[in-house]
Each structure stands twice: as structure tokens, then as C-alpha cells.
């Protein structure tokens, strides 16, 4: 037990030293988070971490942690925040990078509070892809990925869960002036133009400052 605690403390210390820039990316199912994250990675050099992908990879690894995740999913239980946070911390440290898009996390207020308490990191901001439920339904039903959960009832349930769980997180950060909201109902390229406005000014400002100093 002591070894695991020490390893977790080491991860937290390594991250604290780096002072990484973290952006939480939230939006309903089908809001285009993955597509836009790929574009941000390409244009702005961020590292994209999907909480869901990390959990699935760990589950499939056959590790002790992975078996526990598999069992919890099989029983319909929610994986504890600390497990997801540890996977995120590990991925952040191992990447060697210092700018991260964390996609699909925190899913609820408990996730949010635990992330800040464990990592000692507050996000720079939350990138919120806001899209009407009707548009999300249309997109998911049309994307034809052969997923069993892409039916109208399941989509509506997932959207309801998103509203109940994730909106309080968005409201919390909005009160702190840390939400950048995007109209995600527009075409992909138009959405990315709006995203670029959010990420570009800081780059231009720093370049301008360097030019003035020079």
C-alpha cells in the first residue's frame, strides 16, 4: 500500500513541478469534441487525453487495476475518480509535454473536486461545445458507426446524464470566469474558426511582447 501511495505522490510532485497548462473539454455526445481536439493538437501543439480511452486501455491491459475497472463496468458501477485521475496523471507525466486537452472529464462535480485536490491543478479554462439535443441526435444517428448505443433512447439518456452531471461543472467554472463556450451546431470548419480565436490571442500576444523586447 505504501508503495502505491509513494508512486501517486511522485506523480503529483512531477506534475506540480511542470506547472502544466490544462484545458477541460466538455460537450454532449456527438458535439464534435474529438474532431476539434484533433485540430487543436495539430495547430496548437496540445496533447489530447481522453479519460474514456485511458480507462478502456487500462481495462484491456489485464493489469490488476484493469480487472477492477472491468468488474466495476460489468456491475454498472462508476469507476472511482481517483482511478481515472491516476491514469490521467500518469499519461501527463509520461508524455513529457506541458499543454493538455482533457476530453470528457470531469464528468461531474465529484470528479472536478477530486482532480483539483489530488493534482493541485486548476484548469486554464473549460472549452464547452454547446449543441442542441436535436442536432446531437441527428449527428449520432447519421454517423453510422454500428455502435449498439447509437439509438434514440440511449442517446437521450446519455444527453440527460450529461445535463445532470456535467452542467454543474460548467456552471462552477463559469462563475470563476473560466468557460469558453462554442456554438457546436455549426459546420466543423466554422466551429474550428471559433476555437482558433480562443487559442490564438495568447500566442500572438507573447510573440508581440518578444518583438517589443527585441
Residue 19 assigned ligand-binding role: no
Supply the CATH number for residue 190's domain.
Answer: 3.40.50.300
Name the maximum alpha-carbon separation found in the chain.
Answer: 61
Compute the mean pLDDT over every residue in the chain, rounded to the nearest whole number.
Answer: 85
Please, are residues 165 and 62 in contact by the beta-carbon 8 Å criterion?
A: no
Residue 52 assigned ligand-binding role: no
**Cβ atoms within 10 A of the Cβ of 145, count?**
7
Residue 93 assigned ligand-binding role: no
pLDDT in tens, 148-159: 555 778 788 888
Please, are residues 209 and 66 in contact by the beta-carbon 8 Å criterion?
A: no
Residue 165 assigned ligand-binding role: no
- Its domain, for residue 19, covers 2-213
Residue 176 assigned ligand-binding role: no
Residue 158 assigned ligand-binding role: yes
Residue 2 assigned ligand-binding role: no
8-state DSSP, 129: E
Residue 107 assigned ligand-binding role: yes
Distance CA 13, CA 31 (A): 34
Residue 31 assigned ligand-binding role: yes
Residue 106 assigned ligand-binding role: yes
63-72 as b/e: b if 16+ CB within 10 A: eebbeebeeb
Q: How many domains does the chain have?
A: 1
CA neighbours closer than 13 Å in the CB half-sphere of residue 98 = 6
Residue 77 assigned ligand-binding role: yes
Please, are residues 199 and 99 in contact by the beta-carbon 8 Å criterion?
A: no
Q: What is the pTM of this model?
A: 0.82
Q: In this model, does residue 213 exceed pLDDT 80? A: no
pLDDT in tens, 32-91: 999 999 999 999 999 999 998 999 999 999 888 899 999 887 887 778 999 999 999 999
Give the model's confidence band at 100: pLDDT under 50 very low, under 70 low, under 90 confident, else very high.
very high
Residue 45 assigned ligand-binding role: no
Residue 33 assigned ligand-binding role: yes
Residue 78 assigned ligand-binding role: yes
Distance CA 151, CA 130 (A): 21
Amino acid at each position: 500500500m505504501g508503495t502505491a501511495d509513494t508512486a501517486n505522490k511522485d506523480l503529483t510532485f512531477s506534475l506540480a513541478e511542470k506547472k502544466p497548462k490544462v484545458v477541460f473539454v466538455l460537450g454532449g455526445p456527438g458535439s464534435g469534441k474529438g474532431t476539434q481536439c484533433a485540430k487543436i493538437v495539430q495547430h496548437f501543439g496540445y496533447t489530447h487525453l481522453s479519460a474514456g480511452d485511458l480507462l478502456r486501455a487500462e481495462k484491456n491491459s489485464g493489469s490488476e487495476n484493469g480487472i477492477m475497472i472491468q468488474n466495476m463496468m460489468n456491475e454498472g458501477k462508476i469507476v472511482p475518480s481517483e482511478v481515472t485521475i491516476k491514469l490521467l496523471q500518469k499519461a501527463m507525466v509520461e508524455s513529457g509535454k506541458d499543454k493538455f486537452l482533457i476530453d470528457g472529464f470531469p464528468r461531474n462535480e465529484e470528479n472536478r473536486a477530486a482532480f483539483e485536490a489530488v493534482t493541485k491543478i486548476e484548469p486554464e479554462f473549460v472549452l464547452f461545445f454547446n449543441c442542441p439535443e436535436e442536432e446531437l441526435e441527428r449527428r449520432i444517428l447519421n454517423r453510422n458507426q454500428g455502435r449498439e448505443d447509437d439509438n434514440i433512447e440511449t442517446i437521450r439518456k446519455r444527453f440527460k446524464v450529461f445535463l445532470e452531471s456535467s452542467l454543474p461543472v460548467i456552471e462552477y467554472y463559469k462563475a470563476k470566469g473560466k468557460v469558453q463556450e462554442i456554438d457546436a451546431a455549426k459546420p466543423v470548419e466554422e466551429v474550428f474558426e471559433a476555437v482558433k480565436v480562443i487559442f490564438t490571442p495568447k500566442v500572438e500576444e507573447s510573440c508581440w511582447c518578444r518583438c517589443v523586447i527585441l
